[in-house]
A = this chain, B = another copy of it.
Amino acid sequence: MTFPAIEVSQTPESKFREYLATRPKPQRFTDQQRDLVKYIFSRHTHFDADQLLEDLKIAQLNISRATVYRTLSKLVDAGLLRRIELNGRMCYEHDYGYPQHDHLVCESCHKMIEFLTPELDEMLRQVSAQHQFQMTGHTLIIRGTCIECNRARGAKRKLDRI
């Protein structure tokens, strides 16, 4: 993990069960949902629906595409996952037990680097206030090239010159 986890009193599974039970229309907790929550919270990565589906297959967990999409939505609603829009597709990351942060995204290797910015919140609040805007959330992504890809590129340029 990039940052120390936040202390939480419940497991992701119990938090999810609580969410399901608490909805206006109570929802059920199924085997597929249990497996998904367990799998997703067994590692700290950014992933999209497709990657997750592949990884689940490798892990011998047979859960259909439709169920994966439906469960991801519920997990976002439940506050267990955060959704990030990136290059026209949805990316997910842990929300529960993990501090709010933003991302540097490498356009070469697509790595996501997390960063914390206490000043940013203050800035967002000020801007919103100036426009009498009721902020509910924000998205900040810094695009560019990570240090590894930059080095690789530099090395390649050197080779090209020989």
A residues lining the B interface (CB < 8 Å): 85, 87-88, 104, 106-107, 113, 115, 117, 119-120, 123-124, 127-128, 130-147, 150
Closest to A141 in B: B139
Query: Which chain B positions have C-beta within 8 A of A146?
Result: 131-134
Query: Which chain B positions have C-beta within 8 A of A144?
Result: 128, 133-137
Given contacts A134-B150, A147-B132, A147-B133, contact A124 B142 (CB under 8 A): yes
Query: Which chain B positions have C-beta within 8 A of A117?
Result: 123, 127
Q: Report whether A135 and B143 are in contact in the complex, using a CB–CB cutoff of 8 Å.
A: yes
Q: Report whether A107 and B132 are in contact in the complex, using a CB–CB cutoff of 8 Å.
A: no
Bound-state Cα–Cα, A127 to B113, Å: 11
Q: Report whether B128 and A138 are in contact in the complex, using a CB–CB cutoff of 8 Å.
A: no
- Min CB gap A139→B, angstroms: 5
